[in-house]
Amino acid sequence: RCAGRVEVKYYQRAWGTVCDDSWDMKDAAVVCRQLGCGAALRAHSSAHFGPGSGLIWMSRVECNGSEPALADCRHTRKVQEICNHTRDAGVTCSGTGREVLSTKPLFACSSVPEFTGLRLVNGSTGCEGRVEVQVQGTWGSLCDSHWDLLDAHVLCRHLNCG
């Protein structure tokens, strides 16, 4: 989950790849952080993890390294005419993407105690599964009382899962 070809999805459209034009460690750092995968160890080019298929959504990505998401970096969109899948970008990150440690509360409501960790478990990816929080060193499930789509949006954004 924390190493491979970089693919992005714009809105409800299909997944597509990122061209390796100017792809560097600053760009990889943003991807790794966005996925909750720790630090970037390597920025790969030339379809290191194999060529993708379909659309190439981004090219000439220029991150400064502090952006919260790859889409926030300067880039050229939909670039089939200037790039092909033999130049798909990739990353290798230091982590596994399964949990995020935090020093700040996720929710601003009094019914949720301050936690030191947040993770999704038993999902097929690091961005789906049962919500667990760590409070005073112990992991437990988050109660679904009053849980709704707005809460899920906050959680997904906090985990850098879109």
Within 10 angstroms of residue 23's Cβ, the number of other Cβ atoms is 27
Is the separation of the CB atoms in 90 and 4 below 8 Å?
yes
Phi, psi of 157 (to 5 degrees): -65, -40
Domain extent for 137: 115-159
67 with 133, same domain: the answer is no
User: Are the C-beta atoms of residues 106 and 93 closer than 8 Å to each other?
Assistant: no
Same domain, 31 and 82: yes
Within a domain: residue 104?
Answer: no
**Over the stretch 142-161, which tens digit does the pLDDT of each residue have?**
777 677 776 776 777 777 77
pLDDT at 78: 65
Please report, for the domain that includes residue 17, its CATH number.
Answer: 3.10.250.10
Give the model's pLDDT for residue 104.
39
Contacts of 85 (CB under 8 A, 6+ apart): 17, 47, 51, 52, 53, 56
pLDDT tens by residue, 95-113: 866 544 443 334 433 344 5
Residue 71 and residue 21 in one domain = yes
pLDDT for 73 equals: 94
Cross-strand pairs, 86: none
Which residue numbers in the chain have pLDDT < 50? 99-112
Q: Which of 93, 123, 145 is a domain's end point?
A: 93
Question: What is the number of domains present in the chain?
Answer: 2
C-alpha–C-alpha distance, residues 162 and 155, integer Å: 9
